[in-house]
Amino acid sequence: MFIWDLLTNNVFIFSGDAPCREGLFNLLAFGVALMVALMLHEIAHGYAALSFGDHTAKLSGRLTLDPTKHFNLLGLLMMLLVGFGWANPVPVNPNNFNPQKKTLAMVSVSLAGVVTNLVLAFFSTALLVLVYMTRWGMELSTNNPYVWQFLIMLGYLMMSLNVSFALFNLLPLFPLDGFRLISCFVPEYNKVLLFLRRYSFYIIIACVFLGNLGFSPISWYVNTVGNWLIGGFIDFWSWLLIGG
């Protein structure tokens, strides 16, 4: 289980078989990364809706950094147990959008969370490269090993979690952002949309089951595209910060 790997310091560049002090720093970094990724994803939806005239999220108290307003207990448990989860979705009322800009507003709201996650991942990669690959990072690892441990894990987890959240949310499954994006252009009673609205949960559960058997289409997609994105981010920041 991923949480056990964190506690035993058996993630990324580390190795271990029992809980250790370093594992507590890993767990702290995971908590910060998860909280930031999920909260800012949802807040981005709310601000996008607000920018097009819908105050529903603001009036519901969701444009806040208070994690209790965003986290869903079941979604959090699923994240810890099976590797994917969800927060409480930000309420949006499309009827408040300007009719002439309604499609643009709905597309913007649908993509706001995904774009936010990708931006977070992009800049988190800079932290990872700075701490892990530069002379300053080498000195920090010698003089303040626990600070180095926390920062490198924070950069790595912020990068990987945000990329995973962005790609997962782009899936055309209800109630993910990919489904809402498609619904911006397809009639509400389209048969495919109705099928996905009704059976998306079972599709996800089936993919989790297949993952336990050794192959999950969702995991393959997230890992394949995610590795490509992360590789590009690392190459860019390596070139910018250390010259390649």
C-alpha closest to that of 45 among 177, 213, 133: 177
Q: What is the pLDDT of residue 33?
A: 93
C-alpha closest to that of 72 among 44, 46, 39: 39
Contact 163, 231 (CB under 8 A): no
Q: What is the pLDDT of residue 71?
A: 80
Kindly report the pTM of this predicted structure. Answer: 0.91
Kindly report the length of the chain: 244
Q: What is the pLDDT of residue 140?
A: 87
Q: Which residues participate in catalysis according to the annotation?
A: 42
What's the pLDDT tens digit per position in 127-142? 999 999 888 888 888 8
Over 80: is that where the pLDDT of 13 sits?
no
Whole-angstrom distance, CA of residue 227 vs CA of residue 61: 36
pLDDT band at 101 (very low <50, low <70, confident <90, very high): very high
**Domain ranges within the chain, ordered by starting residue:** 2-242
What's the pLDDT tens digit per position in 158-187? 999 999 999 999 999 998 999 999 999 998
Q: What is the pLDDT of residue 2?
A: 66
Whole-angstrom distance, CA of residue 239 vs CA of residue 153: 21
Whole-angstrom distance, CA of residue 129 vs CA of residue 82: 28
Q: What is the pLDDT of residue 19?
A: 64
Query: How large a percentage of the chain has pLDDT more than 70?
Result: 90
